[in-house]
Amino acid sequence: MSEGSENRVDRIVSDLLRGRRLRLRGGDADEKEAITAAARLVAAGQGVQRMHPAFRKRMAQALEAAPNGGWLTRRAALVAGLGVVTGVAAGGLMGRAMEPNLSSYVPAPRQVSPANGRWVDVGALADFVDGQATRVTAGAIGAFLFRRGDTVNAVSSICSDLPCELQWNGGTHVLDCPCHPASFTPAGAPTNKAYPLPSLDLVSARVTDAGRVEILGT
């Protein structure tokens, strides 16, 4: 990270002053106190905030969608109503948060499909330890490769939330993000059910007849 702290914090301050959401990157955690102080000051400078009429209306519609108006105990109806909101914010955090059954929802993973991709040999199947991750590269594609018997799967080596290189934790068998408390299973699913993140992107991997492992890279 060559960008200085003062530049990174000012980027965040500038975003906040323009009404944009907090977009944090790896390394921003070093200035967490300054960033939280900036967020509070921005809010203080704008005075007491109430819900935007459009947002309030969406919330009201979601609450009214509950049968017989009994929003307090009708979880399913509320979820159904709020699901409408999800479509409005496709791709955003809100979309993830508003999906049914927050505790088990995991956004669908995406397959990495590089333009003009090509299969790149990353080693013999016998070189990979069963159940353990191995960091491999195939041109511009970085991935963690997992062997299960005679099959393999691979996931992107980049965290789906912050642009940081994941690290394999052999003790807990998860991929840890060094930039914040996030981790992912070998299949790429986030492990923190209370705060769902997108799954890791999937990288195509295969075993050839000759027992070689190949990754679809660039």
Among 60, 84, 124, 129, binds another protein (CB under 8 A): 60
Number of residues that bind another protein (CB under 8 A): 75
Nearer to another protein, 79 or 138 (CB): 79
What is the x/- site pattern for another protein, positions 117-156, by CB under 8 A? ----------------------------------------
Nearer to another protein, 34 or 120 (CB): 34
Helix (H) or strand (E) holding 153: strand 151-156
Residue type, 158: I
Query: Is 218:114 a contact under the CB 8 Å cutoff?
Result: yes
Q: How far is the CB of 187 from another protein (least distance, A)?
A: 20
Among 141, 197, 202, 216, binds another protein (CB under 8 A): 197
Which residues contact residue 155 at a Cβ distance below 8 angstroms, ignoring those fewer than 6 apart? 109, 143, 144, 146, 175, 184, 186, 187, 188, 200, 201, 202, 203
Distance of CA 122 to the CA centre of its chain: 26
Chain position carrying tokens 């609450």: 63
Other residues' Cβ atoms within 10 Å of the Cβ of residue 200 = 27
Among 1, 2, 3, 66, binds another protein (CB under 8 A): 66
| Helix 5-17 vs helix 32-45: crossing angle, to nearest 10 | 30
Q: Is 213 in the site for another protein (CB under 8 A)?
A: no
Nearer to another protein, 18 or 130 (CB): 18
Among 1, 3, 10, 127, binds another protein (CB under 8 A): 10
The residues in 11-50 that bind another protein, with binding defined as CB under 8 A, are 13, 15-17, 19-22, 24, 28-29, 31-50
Query: Is 65:81 a contact under the CB 8 Å cutoff?
Result: yes
What is the x/- site pattern for another protein, positions 166-195, by CB under 8 A? -------------xxxx---------x-xx
Among 1, 3, 64, 127, binds another protein (CB under 8 A): 64
The residues in 88-107 that bind another protein, with binding defined as CB under 8 A, are 89, 92-94, 97-98, 102
Helix (H) or strand (E) holding 62: helix 53-64
Query: Is 106:199 a contact under the CB 8 Å cutoff?
Result: yes
Chain position carrying tokens 């990754």: 215
